[in-house]
Homo-oligomer: A and B are copies of this chain.
Amino acid sequence: MTITLYELTGRDTARPFSPHCWKTVMSLAHKGLDFVRSPVPFTGVPEVENRLGKTVPVLRDGDTVISDSFEIALYLEKAYPDLPTLLGGEGGIALSRFIESWSLTQIHTAIGGRLLLDIHAMLEPKDQAYFRQSRETRFGKPLEDVVEASAGRAGEFAARLEPLRIMLKQQPFIGGEGPLFADYIVFGAFQWARVCSAEQLLESGDPVADWFERCLDLHHGAGRAIAAAA
């Protein structure tokens, strides 16, 4: 049975960049499952699998189709209980919801603004028009102004990572001795930045940077297989 992952790309369909899609790539790699990657441009998202979801990732596994990276993780855990655990039990599932909220409110909000023009530059013209219009509506100003407002706030961003940095003194992954979906939730955000922008997000020597490098090495370098933006 073939597993297909629909994931967001730009002009270069070999450079998936969506943070949420990366969570699912890592989830599948964690379970050791083979899958086919099906690239989708922004304007193609509504057409995926007969308009099932409004967002990607979307996963098809045989007759089952699921959207949303967290729902996909729950599905994979249930469908493949004998493969390495992705969520670490009931407590791991519940607490991963907190990690998701933390990542969205603390990391995505900080990274997202910075990357707008980088992402725009990666898209086909039709997707560029969609992207600019939808994001300018969301932010209430031109992309250029959002990016400018985000510049020079590296110190503030580094401070937001303090909970992760302090935790990493006790264990190498959010999942403990090894990674869990909680790691991939946060990894997705940093990988988004790594694929879209050459700007350095973290100082070298930062324990968070070391953790990200460890994540890039996981599962035969599934994350590192896509080169960083240059």
Is A221 engaged at the interface, CB distance under 8 Å to the other chain?
no
Cα A90 to Cα B106 in complex, Å, equals 25
Cα A166 to Cα B97 in complex, Å, equals 9
Cα A109 to Cα B87 in complex, Å, equals 30
Q: Which of B89, B101, B166 contacts A91 (CB 8 A)?
A: B89
- A98 and B180 contact, CB distance less than 8 A: no
Inter-chain contacts of A170 with B (CB < 8 A): 97
Cα A94 to Cα B178 in complex, Å, equals 10
Is A85 engaged at the interface, CB distance under 8 Å to the other chain?
yes
Mask, A160-183, CB within 8 Å of B = 1, is 001111110011011110001010
Main secondary structure of the interface of A (DSSP, over half): helix
- A105 and B162 contact, CB distance less than 8 A: yes
- A176 and B90 contact, CB distance less than 8 A: yes
- A167 and B91 contact, CB distance less than 8 A: no
- B102 and A91 contact, CB distance less than 8 A: no
Q: Pick the most buried of A90, A91, A102: most chain B CB atoms within 10 A of its CB.
A: A91
Inter-chain contacts of A27 with B (CB < 8 A): none
Inter-chain contacts of A92 with B (CB < 8 A): 88-92, 94-95
Cα A167 to Cα B103 in complex, Å, equals 11
Is A93 engaged at the interface, CB distance under 8 Å to the other chain?
yes
The residue on B at minimum CB distance from A166 is B101
Q: Which of B104, B105, B106, B174 contacts A95 (CB 8 A)?
A: B174
Return 28 A-B CB contacts under 8 Å, by A number: A87-B91, A88-B89, A88-B92, A90-B176, A91-B91, A91-B93, A91-B95, A91-B96, A91-B176, A91-B180, A92-B94, A92-B95, A94-B173, A94-B180, A94-B182, A95-B99, A95-B175, A95-B180, A95-B182, A97-B170, A97-B171, A98-B99, A98-B167, A98-B182, A100-B167, A101-B164, A101-B166, A105-B166
Footprint of B on A, CB under 8 Å? 85, 87-102, 104-106, 162-167, 170-171, 173-176, 180, 182
